[in-house]
Amino acid sequence: MPRWLTEDEYGVLTAMCERLIPADETPGATDAGVVDYIDGLLGAFSFDPPRIWAGGPSSGRFGGTPGFATFHPLTALDELAWRTRIEGSLGRPEREFNGAVVGLQEQYRSGLAMLGPDFAHCEGEEQDRRLHAHSDFTELVYGHACEGMYGAPEYGGNRDGVGWSNIGFAGDVQPRGWTDREVSEA
C-alpha cells in the first residue's frame, strides 16, 4: 500500500521511474523500490518520527548498531520546513513569510496527471515523448529517482542495496571504514 500516492498514481510513477532508470542486465528503478522512496518522501509525515533524516552513526551493514532505521525527531521549525516543502504553504501565514510555496505533493499529483492515466500502458517511445514534453516534472522526478536508487535503503529505495551493488559502491562503511592499503592502492 502506498503511503501517500493513490494506487493509480503509484502505477504511473512506477512506469515513469522504470523509464528513467531502466533495468538492463541488472535491476532498475522498479526492482530497487525507487517509487517507495518517493512515496516515503511525499508521505514522510505518516511515519513517526517523520521519515526525513535517518539516524546514525551506522546502519549495521558493516558492523555496529543499526542506527539508520531510527529516524531523527524533528523540531517545530524542522517540521514547518518539511511540511511546507512537501505539502505546500496551503495559505497558512506561518508558511508564507516569503510568499506561497507549491509543495511536492501538488507537483507530483499534477505532474502524474499530465502524463495521462494510460501512461503505464504506452509504448516506451510514447512514454519518452510525454516525459520530454513535461521536462520540468521529469527532471524533478529524476532527481528523486537518483536518491531512491543510490541513497540508503532505510529511506525506502535502493532495496537490498541493489543500486550500490550494481555500480560497485560499498555504501555506508562505518564503523569498518577503509584500511590504509585500500585507500592508497588500486
Partner 1 sequence: MTVDAIIVGSGPGGSTVADVLTAAGWSVVIFEKGRNHLIDLEDPSRLLGDYSNDEVKFIDRYFLGPDPFLEPRTFRVSPDEGDHSFVGEVNSIPTTVGGGGTHADGKVPRFREEDFSLLSTYGPQDGASVADWPLDYTELEPFYTDVERRIGVSGEAGANPFAAWRSGPYPMPPGPSMYGSKLSCAAAESLGFHPYPAPGATNSEPYDGRPACNNCGFCAYFGCPTHAKGDPVAMLQKALLSGNAELRPETFVSRIRTDGKRATGVDFIGPDGVEHSMDARYVVVAGGAVETPRLLLLSGLEHPLIGRHLMTHFQTIVVGGFADLRLHGERGRAVTEVHDDAIVPDDGSRAAAKEAGLPWMRGGMVEHGGPALPILEAKIYRWGRTHKENMRSSPMRDRLWAFTMQGEDLPVPTNRIDLDPTIRDVRGFPVARYTYKPHPHELAASAHHGPRLAAILAEMGAEWTSIVTSPGTPGGPGDRTSEHAPISRHVMGTARMGDDPATSVADSSGRLHQLPNVVIADSSVFVTSAGYGPTLTLAALAARSAAAMVG
Which H/E stretch holds residue 112? helix 104-115
Stretch that binds partner 1, among 4-12, 53-61, 108-116 (CB under 8 A): 53-61
Q: 155: burial class by Cβ within 10 Å (0-12, 13-18, 19+)?
A: buried
Which H/E stretch holds residue 166? helix 162-167
Q: Does 176 bind partner 1 (CB under 8 A)?
A: yes
Cα torsion through 178, 180, 182, 186, rounded to 10: 150
Q: Does 168 bind partner 1 (CB under 8 A)?
A: yes
Q: Does 54 bind partner 1 (CB under 8 A)?
A: yes
Q: Which of 58, 108, 115, 161 binds partner 1 (CB under 8 A)?
A: 58
Helices (H), 21-103: 29-32, 34-42, 76-87
* One-letter identity of residue 150: Y
Q: Does 19 bind partner 1 (CB under 8 A)?
A: yes
Indicate the residue among 120 and 173 with the shorter CB distance to partner 1. Answer: 173
Stretch that binds partner 1, among 6-14, 65-73, 102-110, 115-123 (CB under 8 A): 65-73
* Pair 72, 49: CB distance under 8 Å: yes
Binding mask 76-95 for partner 1 (x = CB under 8 A): xxx-xx--xx----------
Q: Does 185 bind partner 1 (CB under 8 A)?
A: yes
